[in-house]
Structure 1
């Protein structure tokens, strides 16, 4: 049997975009339990999911790490416009990519931060816009995700620079360059996302994960990232959340310095079949700051909704 860390890499082509997809647990049947599509946050990469993945997922689900458009090694089309960084466009692109991976099978959409926003967008907007041809969404997991893209802290500052005219643009590019100068600087930058930095770096997967992510972060396209930071600040999909009917797990760090936990509360209130888990002592990286609590929340929810034995007992 292959190792749970073994993956197959694919390059997907959608509307001129190239997206990177990694398939894990390809030996597990996607018909017994829905496959899970994991989407990373802004300036991150597929590498964030590989090493510290929840044990329940590693044991029971086929799962995929799917890159966000424009995030290395993914690329935008040469003629990509800032106006195309809109929820509807990204939901359409990601839906097409997911169909290339799983066909018509139901999937669980899971994402961290901007990846959580995309999971919400795909689930809400594809259903609202396409009706009969919508992606079959079996469940949604939002980890520190958001419906309103106005951030706080370090990422909020980068948003303001991205929209701040020529000097703001120069400041934004300089910030990305500094982050990519050395792995130690990248590590320090990531610590700004956390509330409990000591716990973050005590978590065994953190350092190898950051080392893998740095390889991609150092190759980010500054123009593509500036478009994201500028456009997301003006996006709000709150009015569309009511279209989501699938079970949803909403995880938030109680002390998130980037996305206030009030966003997760509003998301959970807007979606009928949702469970909200606020993780005490965690910031924007609960999977590392409070790994046991995060793993428990994920495992319990997945077992409740997608464990065939549990479902048979309830019949």
Structure 2
């Protein structure tokens, strides 16, 4: 299986999906970025790609660096994909031109250990009880959208999560729980845009605003009515923000 799904031609922009996502979920975004070569990464364990063992953020960032077909790219990461993007920015700064962080945080669980415990219990508990990924997806992914989501936004993320192998999901959750780059993001030195859904309870807008304030020169914007999947819930708004940011001349 190829490491990337690819659309278009032009300066490269790479899209990183979240823990319950898939590269194919970026198709609408890719088609909204005319004049760009858009590459959506099948992260290790997803889309038929082999899982890394042990799975760490360092290993994921290095695997992405090895897979990139260009010396430097614009990088867009959603949720856990945003965490991988931050890790990449810290480990491989010369490979990065611009950074977009969507519905993500610089440290798993932030300042609330109770959130981290509840997050893991909601995801591992059903699997431990014998439920399938399809059953888990219907319960979890279906509740990620905010009240302003476009009609019909839910089926695609539910189907994507249902297709994630259980072993991949478990390994990636264990990896997710280790992420904490709150002390290092101040060293990110490329133009950065942080995009939050106003109704996101997983990566709240206030948390993302603090993250943006910690990254030198970073910009923060809110997609009103969006939940944890703003690129799927409010695609026109998300794509417009992305196009505008990526088109700006670098200072």
Give the Å deviation of 1:149.
1.5
* Residues 1-315 of structure 1 mapped to structure 2, 5 A cutoff: 11=2, 20-25=3-8, 28-29=9-10, 34-50=11-27, 52-53=28-29, 56-57=32-33, 59-77=34-52, 80-81=53-54, 84-85=55-56, 87-98=57-68, 101-102=69-70, 104=71, 106-127=72-93, 134=94, 136-150=95-109, 157-160=118-121, 171-174=126-129, 177=132, 179-180=133-134, 186=137, 189-196=140-147, 199-200=148-149, 202=151, 206=153, 209-210=156-157, 214=159, 217-305=161-249
| Conservation of the 8 A alpha-carbon contact between 2:16 and 2:40 | yes
CA distance in 1, matches of 2:167, 2:229: 26
Question: Structure 1: how far apart are the matches of 2:7 and 2:142?
Answer: 28
Q: TM-score, normalised by structure 1?
A: 0.69
Q: CA RMSD in A?
A: 2.9
Residue by residue over 1:62-117, the C-alpha shift from the partner in whole angstroms, topping out at 9 and shown as x without a partner, is 1101022222322215xx23xx42x222211111112xx22x2x200111111111
Cα distance in 2 for residues equivalent to 1:61 and 1:241: 27
Q: Which ranges in structure 2 are unaligned for 5 or more consecutive residues?
A: none
Q: Would the aligned equivalents of 2:137 and 2:162 in 1 still touch at CA under 8 Å?
A: no
TM-score, L = length of structure 2: 0.85
1:286–1:294 CA contact under 8 A, matched in 2: yes
Flag the structure with higher helix content: 1
Following superposition, the deviation at residue 207 of structure 1 comes to 6.2
Relative distance call for 1:243 and 1:62 in structure 2 (3 A) is same
The separation in 2 between residues aligned to 1:147 and 1:125, in whole angstroms, is: 15
What count of residue pairs does the alignment treat as equivalent? 249
CA distance in 1, matches of 2:45, 2:169: 8
Contact map agreement 1:47 1:209 (CA 8 A) in 2? no
For each residue in 1:27-55, what CA deviation from the matched residue of structure 2 results, as whole angstroms up to 9, or x when unmatched? Answer: x24xxxx30000100021111101x2165
Shift of 1:262: 2.6
Who wins on radius of gyration, i.e. which is larger? 1
Q: CA deviation at 1:143?
A: 0.8
Matches of 2:176 and 2:38, distance apart in 1: 27
